[in-house]
């Protein structure tokens, strides 16, 4: 545990935040998903084909949309897709617990899956950019947090399930809501090249390119 802490602290604050994010993301996801099928069949009484549709839409909207998520991260930077994915999953998880109509469940499932397609490529690309030459060590540490969230999530979900499945969904949604606020407040904005830049410098020319004497927006160094 001390070795993990030392390894985590050796990386920049933004990389540390991404690692903590992944733990919370997996904690919330695995709190809910292992018990969703039982909720759909037992509590809502859906037929097997309907359960398969809800679960299949989630898998398709996530695994099939990674290209879109990665493209958006390359186009708009890493922070925006991460925040959008967290917000979308907040809504999706909340809906899964509080709606019972099949169309609404399919929409919630699709939102939950597409959220993962948004933030997963962006998180990994951001971490690779922040780690620099220490990418192997960074992803090894990142994977420890990933697996820890995957391990603890079902246990927390099982404990909450003793009360109500809605409590599981609400708790998972609250975790993602808190993550959304945390990204907005603490995660620096970074370009796909790994260089951070303030919001006012979107129009800056690349390093080494000529700029006019009146182009003052690029005069200050990146933060």
Domain ranges of the chain: 2-198+212-218
| Start-to-end C-alpha separation, the chain | 32
| pTM higher than the cut 0.75 | yes
- Pick from 127, 117, 125: which is nearest to 85 by CA? 117
Q: Name the CATH superfamily for 2-198+212-218.
A: MFS general substrate transporter like domains (1.20.1250.20)
Q: Which residue has the higher pLDDT, 65 or 2?
A: 65
What local confidence, expressed as pLDDT, does residue 190 receive?
66
Query: Between 79-98 and 13-32, two packed helices, what is the crossing angle to 10 degrees?
Result: 20
- Sign of the CA dihedral with 163 first, then 88, 80, and 18 last: positive
137 vs 209, more confident: 137
* Size of the chain, expressed as the number of residues it contains: 223
Q: Give the tens place of pLDDT for each residue, 90-144.
A: 999 999 999 999 999 999 999 999 999 999 999 999 999 998 899 999 999 999 9
Per-residue tokens: 211: 């700029």
Write the CA distances from 198 to 71, 131, 221, integer angstroms.
21, 20, 10
pLDDT tens digit string along 133-172?
Answer: 999 999 999 999 999 999 999 999 999 999 999 999 999 9
Percent of the chain with pLDDT over 90: 70
Q: Using alpha carbons, select from 49, 11, 36 the residue that is nearest to residue 136.
A: 11
Backbone phi and psi for residue 187, each to the nearest 5 degrees, phi listed first: -90, 120
Q: What is residue 170's predicted lDDT score, i.e. its pLDDT? A: 96
């Amino acid at each position: 545990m001390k070795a993990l802490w030392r390894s985590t602290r050796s990386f920049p604050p933004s990389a540390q935040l991404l690692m903590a994010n992944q733990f919370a993301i997996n904690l919330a996801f695995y709190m809910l998903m292992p018990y969703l099928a039982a909720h759909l069949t037992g509590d809502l009484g859906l037929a097997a084909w309907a359960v398969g549709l809800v679960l299949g839409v989630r898998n398709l909207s996530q695994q099939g949309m990674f290209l879109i998520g990665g493209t958006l991260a390359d186009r708009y930077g890493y922070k925006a897709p991460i925040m959008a994915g967290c917000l979308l999953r907040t809504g999706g998880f909340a809906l899964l617990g509080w709606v019972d109509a099949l169309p609404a469940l399919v929409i919630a499932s699709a939102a939950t899956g597409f959220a993962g397609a948004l933030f997963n490529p962006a998180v990994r690309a951001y971490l690779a950019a922040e780690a620099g030459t220490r990418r192997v060590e960074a992803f090894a540490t990142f994977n420890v947090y990933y697996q820890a969230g995957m391990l603890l999530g079902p246990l927390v979900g099982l404990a909450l399930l003793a009360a109500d499945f809605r409590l599981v969904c609400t708790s998972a949604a609250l975790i993602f809501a808190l993550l959304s606020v945390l990204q907005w407040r603490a995660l620096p904005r970074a370009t796909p090249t790994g260089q951070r830049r303030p919001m006012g410098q979107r129009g800056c020319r690349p390093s080494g390119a000529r700029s006019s004497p009146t182009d003052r927006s690029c005069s200050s160094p990146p933060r």
